[in-house]
Amino acid sequence: MFEKCFNKCKEYLEKYRELLLYGIFGVLTTLINIVVYSLCYERFGVSNVASNVVAWILSVLFAFVTNKIWVFDSKSMEVSVLLKEAVSFFGCRLATGLLDLAIMYVAVDVMAWNSMLMKCISNVIVIVVNYIASKLVIFAHKQ
């Protein structure tokens, strides 16, 4: 009985490894983004937009390393492969970073909605878009 349950769990972990790791590192990336944003905006009084930019830069650096090595298992350190992945990754993250920035600007600065609630909602949208882009474009050669 225990062996059957263990084997079933192992099967699911292997089948959904990529998605599980993306989720784990996505949560960590989001935490980095939110904590850095919160420290800059609420603790140090940095403007909303500047706080969002700093949070984005640090979280994207973390996300590139974790996505490359662990999520999409792209071990190549060949310069051409690394450059292609980095340019694609940072380009995509810039697009979703601008989406995050637009959401935060409109929601917080224009609509005066709660900054932390909107930061969390914005991050969920960004995570979904980033996964799709990473899977289909950036690290697609691994599939």
* Domain-wise residue ranges, the chain: 2-142
pLDDT for the residue 141? 65
Q: What is the mean pLDDT of residues 120-135?
A: 88
pLDDT for the residue 62? 96
Distance separating alpha carbons of residues 49 and 92, to the nearest angstrom:
19
Q: How many CB atoms lie within 10 A of CB 33?
A: 28
Model confidence over 10-36: pLDDT tens digits? 898 898 998 899 999 988 998 999 999
- Residue 115 in tokens: 């900054």
Distance separating alpha carbons of residues 59 and 30, to the nearest angstrom:
7
Q: How far is CA 16 from CA 3, 20, 44, 120, in A?
A: 20, 6, 40, 25
pTM above 0.85, yes or no: no
Which residue would you say has higher pLDDT here, 103 or 135? 103
Identify which of 54, 58, 50 has the alpha carbon closest to the alpha carbon of residue 32.
58
pLDDT for the residue 143? 42
Distance separating alpha carbons of residues 90 and 56, to the nearest angstrom:
11
- Residue 91 in tokens: 């380009």
pLDDT for the residue 9? 87
